[in-house]
Amino acid sequence: MHATLTTTYTDTRADALGWCLGLPALPALAERHVELGGLKLELRLLGASHQMLLTPDRGEGDAVSETVACLPGAATPLPARAATRLGRWEYEFTALTQRLEDAAFVARVREIVALATGHQYGLIGEYPGLPYAVTAMVVERCGAGAVWSTWHTYPQECRIVNTRSRAM
């Protein structure tokens, strides 16, 4: 699913992204609801990046809420790696920030847009007024849980933040 987001681009620097678990659903500019074999997932694009909500079907069991966004004071700095238990879930998170040359940045953003647009369970949002400013998410079933990847692009810095999360 592809959306043009109706807000100005608010993530001004890759270094401003933070990570938080357990937040309630925040106002979303675009969202996609996905059911994967007994799991309900909400892929949510925020004015300040992304939120993933995962709950077992029929609301039975623990939920997972992951937010990666510019939320001053509400999130910890983006870790390179994290792992924790969230109720019945083993949760893992990784983040990688890359700085690319201009042409390589544009080519990589185009690849991300194509990947997320063509993915069965993808969501991508483009921010108006700033070419190559996108936030993209894809999710897949993995064993008894799910795995998802996100990309946050920063054209003014030619940087891309890629996260990968897993709840099993």
pLDDT (0 to 100) of residue 38: 86
pLDDT (0 to 100) of residue 70: 85
* Residue 30 pLDDT grade (very low, low, confident, very high; cuts 50, 70, 90): very high
Quickly list DSSP for the chain: -EEE-SS------GGG-EEEESPPPPP-SEEEEEEETTEEEEEEEETTEEEEEEEEGGG-S--EEEEEE--TTTSEEPPSEEEEEETTEEEEEEEEEEE--HHHHHHHHHHHHHHHHHSTTEEEEE-TTSTT-EEEEEEEEETTEEEEEEEEEETTTTEEEEEEEEE-
pLDDT (0 to 100) of residue 35: 94
Q: How far apart are CA 109 and CA 129, in angstroms?
A: 16
Sheet holding 49-56, edge to edge: 30-36, 39-46, 49-56, 64-69, 18-21, 76-77
127 closest CA partner among 103, 159, 152, 157:
152
Q: How far apart are CA 44 and CA 25, in angstroms?
A: 9
Q: Which residue has the higher pLDDT, 109 or 57?
A: 109
Amino acid letter for position 29: L
Task: Note the pLDDT tens digit of each residue in 124-160.
Answer: 998 888 889 999 999 999 988 999 999 999 999 999 9
Task: Note the pLDDT tens digit of each residue in 35-83.
Answer: 998 899 999 998 778 999 999 876 566 889 999 998 777 668 899 999 9
Q: How far apart are CA 168 and CA 159, in angstroms?
A: 30
On average, the pLDDT of the chain sits at 90
pLDDT (0 to 100) of residue 98: 97
Q: Domain segments of the chain: what residues?
A: 2-167
pLDDT (0 to 100) of residue 24: 93
pLDDT (0 to 100) of residue 136: 96
Can you give the pTM of this predicted structure? 0.91
Please check the confidence at residue 3 and state whether its pLDDT lies above 80: no
